[in-house]
Amino acid sequence: MNPYAVLAAAASRWDRVAGRIGPEARDRLAELLAAVRRPDTGQSAGSGPAGDAAARAAAELLAQEIPAEFGTEQTARLAPDATLPRPDATTPDLTGPGLTVHGYAADDLAVLLSDGHRMVGPVLGPVRRRLLAEPALDAEAVLQGGGSPFAPELIRLRGAGGQLRLPRFQFSEDTLPWLVVLEVNAVLAADRDPWGAADWWLSANTWLGGTSPAALLGSGRDRQVADTARFLMEGE
């Protein structure tokens, strides 16, 4: 069976199978999935021969750890559930890492194991990929600029391997944050839901004329942005 289908299936069943993988096997699985990912994007699409070999080893490890779920007979039944690569994948057939099972792909399993969040699957996965594609600073860049990357009012997203990424729109010059960003992030509870807060800032907002709040930073409409965030949060 295609190893990428096995990894995708494991991601789709993660709540059911996670507790059945021992700690050593879990660490080894995370190591293999890191090799499956493309280092530039954190996604598995187009990982090449080395990534394919790591994917096969990861699938074999899952079969050893949970044969009732991922043994040869069980994985043979995955074929009807496997679908064409999702639109953002570069692989043109059903044999590569862009393959999905119930909307989950191999890189979703890497996210669940290594990145420290659950932005995976057919609904949240595209949101994760879109937000991580936005310009961002890492924690070291913010520190070097005299900023505080761990301030609770800043949005911090976890990229591949759990690397911190601070969306660039939060900063006006170098690492100086916009004051309205700090105000609104507190309203949005960005410390508890950074993905939701980032999505609010970077998505078109009908209350703001179809413009994203981030696009209005520095335009003199800070109060409107803050009032809109407060109004929407009070309505939930």
Give tens-digit pLDDT for 95-109. 577 789 999 999 999
In this prediction, residue 136 carries a pLDDT of 96
15-71 residue pLDDT tens = 999 999 999 999 999 999 999 886 544 444 445 888 899 999 999 999 999 999 998
Q: pLDDT band for position 82 (50/70/90)? A: low
Residues ≥6 apart with Cβ < 8 Å to 195 = 117, 119, 124, 127, 128, 131, 157
Torsion angle, CA of 47/17/156/206, rounded to 10 degrees?
90
- Of the candidates 78, 95, 120, which is a domain's last residue? 120
Query: What pLDDT was estimated at residue 41?
Result: 45
Both 10 and 95 in one domain: the answer is: yes
The structure's pTM equals 0.86
Query: If we measure between CA atoms, which residue out of 131, 138, 108, 129 comes closest to residue 120?
Result: 108
Residue 179 is assigned to a structural domain of this protein: yes
What is the reported pLDDT for 48?
Answer: 80
Given a cut of 90, whether residue 213 has pLDDT beyond it is yes
> What's 65's DSSP letter?
H
Of all residues in the chain, what percent carry a pLDDT higher than 90? 69
Q: Note down the domain range covering 222.
A: 134-234
Residue 115: name the closest of 162, 181, 184, 49 by CA.
162
Residue 87 lies in a domain: yes
Domain shared by 47 and 15, yes or no: yes
- Residues 164, 139 contacting (CB under 8 angstroms): yes
Inter-axis angle of helices 179-187 and 222-234, to 10 degrees? Answer: 0
- Alpha-carbon distance 2 to 72, whole Å? 11
Q: What is the mean pLDDT of residues 189-206?
A: 97
Say what the pLDDT of residue 235 is. 67
The count of domains in the chain is 2
Q: Do residues 6 and 78 touch, judged by C-beta distance below 8 A?
A: yes
Regarding whether 156 and 92 lie in a shared domain, the answer is no
Residue 83 counted as domain residue = yes
**Residues 146-179 pLDDT 10s:** 889 999 999 999 999 999 999 999 998 878 899 9
Question: 113 and 7: one domain?
Answer: yes
